[in-house]
Amino acid sequence: MSHSRSKGLIRPLYSQLQGLKRAVDHVLIFSSLWLSVVIFAEPFTQEYALLALLAIIVFSMFAENQEIYHVWRGAPMFDEAVRILFCWGGTVLLLVCTVYFSQSEVSFFSPALELWLPLAPLWIILLHSIRRACLSYFRLHGFNTRTYAILGANHLGLRLQTALHDMPWLGYRFVGFYDERTQLGDGRLQIGEQAVAGNFKDLLALARSGEVDHIYITLPMRAEQRIIQFVQELADSTVSVHVAPDFFVFNLIQSKVSNVQGIPVVTLFDTPFNQMNALTKRVEDLALCALILPVIALPMLVIAAAIKLTSPGPVIFRQMRYGIKGEQIEVWKFRSMTVCENGDSVRQATVNDRRVTPLGAFLRRTSLDELPQFLNVLRGDMSVVGPRPHAVAHNEFYRKQIQGYMLRHKVKPGITGLAQVNGCRGETETVDKMEARIHYDLEYIRHWSLGLDVKIVFQTIFKGFTGEQAY
C-alpha cells in the first residue's frame, strides 16, 4: 500500500508576539478609562466597562484595516503613530454616533472622558515607541541577530539586500550573494558593486555548517525546476529558506497575498477601496462636500447666470465618461464651449480654440467649470480625489496605446488628483503626456491613504486650479 506524502500548505505568517501586542493595547484602552474615572473619584460602573469594551472592538477593526499589528517592515514610527491616531479618531467618532443615535439615557462624567480620549492613544503610541527603541538598541548591539544569504545575483536580490540593509534594527547580517553562474574563486560576476561570494555548492556548505540562518531565493519564476532542486538539497540542513518570486515584472497595483482554502493566491491588480477603506473614502467624500458645497453654492449660481447671459446653449454640459470598473457615467461641467461633443470622436481643447467661449476660457483656466462635479460626488459616481475621468472616445484610444491604462478605473474618478497637482493638466497632444498622467494615477492607487487625499486637496487649493496647459 503506497502512502502519498502531503506537501503541506502555505500559511500566513502569524506571531504570538503580534497577539500579545493586540492584547496589551486592549488593556491600555481599558485601563486608561479606568484611571481617568478614578482620578476624578467617580465610580467605575458597568456602563464605563461596556464603553471600554466597545472601544476595544471598534479600535481592533480599524487597527486591522490600517495594519497596525502586521509584521513591522521598517516603516517610520511617525507613520505608525498617524495610523494609530486615525484608528482612535474613527473609534471615537463611531462611539459618539452610536450613543447619539441610540438615544441612550446613560450619562458619563465628561471630564473623565475628556482625559481618556487623548490618554488612550498616547499610551499606545508610547508603548509602541518603547518597544521599537528596545528592539533597535539590542539588535544594533549584536543581540538577537540572524545571518542571511541571497541565492540569485539579480535585480530582485539586490533590491531585497538593500531593503534589509536599510533596516539594521531588524538584526539581519548579510553573508553574501550566491549564484550558480559563477565558479568557486571566480570574481567576475558582480551584482551592483558587490562580487558574488560563490555558487550554490558554497552556499549549501554554509547552510550545513550552520553559518547562515536564512536563505532568500530570488531566482526568476521561469527557473521553477532549479528552485525545486535547490530547495530539496537545502532540506538537508537546518537553514530557513524563503522564496521571493519576482512579481515586479508586473505593474503591481495594491498587490497582496491571500489564500483560498489553504491555496496561496497572489493578487497583482486590485483596488485599495475594499470593505472598510471604501466606507472611509465615502465618508471622506461626503465630509468634503459638506464643507465645500456651501462655499461654492453662490459662485456656482453666478457662473450659471453668466453662461446663460453670454452664450446660447445649456448651462451644464453632460458628457459620458468612464467611471469605476470601466462603467460609463454622466459627468457634469459648466459649459465652456459653443459645442457639446459627446460622441465617438471628441476633439480636445487647444490653444486659441475657437469653440471655447470668452467666459469658458476663464472657467477652464481656473477649473471653475469642474465645480458641478461635486454633485457627481454626492451621487456616488465620483470622488473628490482620484484619477480624472476622460471622455469615452479618449479612453478607447489610449487604452490601446498605453499598457495598464484601464487600471486607473480600479477606483472612482476624481475632481482632482495626484496628476493634476503635479502639473499634468490640459491637452495631451502626445502619448507621452498621457503616459505621465497615467503614471501619477497608478501611483495614487498604489499608495492611497487618507493622508494622501488630504495632502492632494491642500495642494489643489494652492496650485491645482490653474496651469499653463489649462485652456
What are the per-10-residue average pLDDT scores of the chain (471 residues)? 43 58 92 94 90 92 78 65 88 83 74 92 92 76 80 89 79 88 59 82 91 91 88 89 78 68 73 81 91 93 92 88 88 82 55 75 86 94 93 84 87 92 77 89 88 89 62 45
Does the pTM exceed 0.75? Answer: no
Residues of the chain within CATH 3.40.50.720 domain(s) are 146-249
**pLDDT in the model for residue 3:** 43
Cβ contact 269:407 at 8 Å: yes
> Domain 146-249 is classified in which CATH homologous superfamily?
NAD(P)-binding Rossmann-like Domain (3.40.50.720)
What residue has cell string 540593509?
165
CA gap 170, 382 in Å, rounded:
42
Q: Kindly list the distances between the CA atom of residue 61 and the CA atoms of 67, 127, 129, 276, 403, in Å, as whole numbers in the listed order.
A: 10, 20, 22, 9, 37
Rounded to 5°, angle at Cα 146 from 142 and 152: 135
- Please give the grid coordinates belonging to residue 103: 438615544
Quick one: CA dihedral 418, 423, 427, 431, positive or negative?
A: negative
CA gap 380, 375 in Å, rounded:
9
What residue has cell string 549549501?
204
- Please give the grid coordinates belonging to residue 126: 508610547
Cβ contact 60:24 at 8 Å: no
Adjacent-strand bridge partners of 321: 329, 391
Reference 301, options 367, 368, 358; nearest CA is 368
State the CB neighbour count (10 A cutoff) for residue 294: 9
**pLDDT in the model for residue 339:** 62
**pLDDT in the model for residue 10:** 42
What residue has cell string 498605453?
402
